[in-house]
Amino acid sequence: MMTGAAAIAAGGAGSARQPRNAALPAVIFAIFALMPAFAALTAQHYLVDTGTRIIVYAVAAVALDLLVGYGGLISFGQAAFIGLGAYAVGILSAAGIGDALVSLPVAIAVSMAFAWITGVVCIRTKGVYFIMITLAFGQMVYFLATSLAPYGGDNGLTIDARNTIAGWPVLKNDTAFYYFAFLCLLATYLLCRALIASRFGRVLRGTKENATRMAAIGFTVQRFQLIAYVIAGGIGGVSGFLLANSTEFVAPAYMAWQQSGELIVMVILGGVGTLDGAIVGSAVYLLAEEWLSGLTENWQVIFGPFLVLVVLFARGGLIGFCARLRLRHG
């Protein structure tokens, strides 16, 4: 039989869970899988680059949704993990180490280490204080990167070539790199989905609903939140690794608080606490940015009211809005 503590954790998780279409993830990943083929057939090769950019940010957005949607931890420092992962690639490349079998684990380890060191402090705060302290740590890393004169400082660092895999330059091909990033996104999604479905995930969702009750029945709330924070940091390092290899460039701007703000917008736009929504929100945000920036330099003036309308009238983001339409029309 389930123990009383586990039952309460499961109950809290159930109340936090949003209805979702089980077929939606399959559709999303099928679209990503077929995009290079569609780009080749239509001779629209820019779609591969656009799809790669969406995937890179979707990886980071899924990690942030794990914190915000399931842990109730609104972090404004997620971009710091992306930047650390990217700089790990850039610095190793400058040192002559350009193999993904080295740089990817280092990017993950550096981001997780920073998440653990700062998370020990951050998790002790709540609400707006948590937001502000994650923002402060993120900006600390940003200004540290600007002071790295040997690695470009404010101007950033150009990477000579994309990483190899066991000495094989397969990632130099844009389509091959796209599928490598696609596999990273798929692995990230499956990992987060497995975590949420596990006992760990049930406890984490329980802490979001009522942290005091979870602590009263014997769970160390801060430990579970810290683990989630460190996992999100490691996934952010994966996103940074992909971003550095995609652009072949790293810059302090990757760590700016505006990047963290954009990730939060992506999660809210798609639907908080769904994981699917983080991917959809990333795609909608970046596609809207590309389209609107072609119309006007001040594209945020147009996108801003759209986001306000989503928040006001599409409760649960685009995923929640579509789910209600599906139920309404049978």
Query: Is 46 a residue whose pLDDT tops 90?
Result: no
CA proximity to 79, closest of 55, 57, 49: 57
**Structural domain contains residue 302:** no
**Structural domain contains residue 289:** no
pLDDT of res. 86: 96
Question: What is the percent of the chain with per-residue pLDDT over 90, rounded to a whole number?
Answer: 66
**Structural domain contains residue 246:** yes
**Structural domain contains residue 66:** yes
CA dihedral sign of residues 240, 241, 244, 247: negative
**Structural domain contains residue 218:** yes
- In the beta sheet, which residues pair with residue 99? 164
- Share in percent of the chain as helix, strand, coil (round to 5): 80, 0, 20
Instruction: Note the pLDDT tens digit of each residue in 259-309.
Output: 999 999 999 999 998 999 999 999 999 999 888 888 888 888 888 888 888
Count of structural domains, the chain: 1
Instruction: Note the pLDDT tens digit of each residue in 190-241.
Output: 999 999 999 999 999 999 888 888 888 888 899 999 999 999 999 999 999 9
Segments forming the whole domain that contains residue 98: 24-255
- Strands 249-250, 157-158: parallel, antiparallel or unpaired by DSSP? antiparallel
- In the beta sheet, which residues pair with residue 157? 250
**Structural domain contains residue 270:** no
**Structural domain contains residue 92:** yes
- Indicate whether this model's pTM tops 0.85: yes
How large is the average pLDDT for residues 47-55? 94
Residue 226 main-chain phi, psi, to 5 deg? -65, -40
Q: Are 267 and 11 in contact (CB under 8 A)?
A: no
Average pLDDT taken over every residue of the chain: 88
Region of poorest pLDDT, from 29-38, 66-75, 293-302: 293-302
pLDDT of res. 330: 62
CA angle 248, 251, 256 (to 5 degrees): 135
How large is the average pLDDT for residues 160-166? 92
pLDDT of res. 306: 85
- In the beta sheet, which residues pair with residue 168? 165
Instruction: Note the pLDDT tens digit of each residue in 119-153.
Output: 999 999 988 999 999 999 999 999 999 998 888 88
Q: Are 15 and 251 in contact (CB under 8 A)?
A: no
pLDDT of res. 1: 34
**Structural domain contains residue 14:** no
Residue 158 main-chain phi, psi, to 5 deg? -85, 135
3-state secondary structure of 295: coil
Query: Is 179 a residue whose pLDDT tops 80?
Result: yes
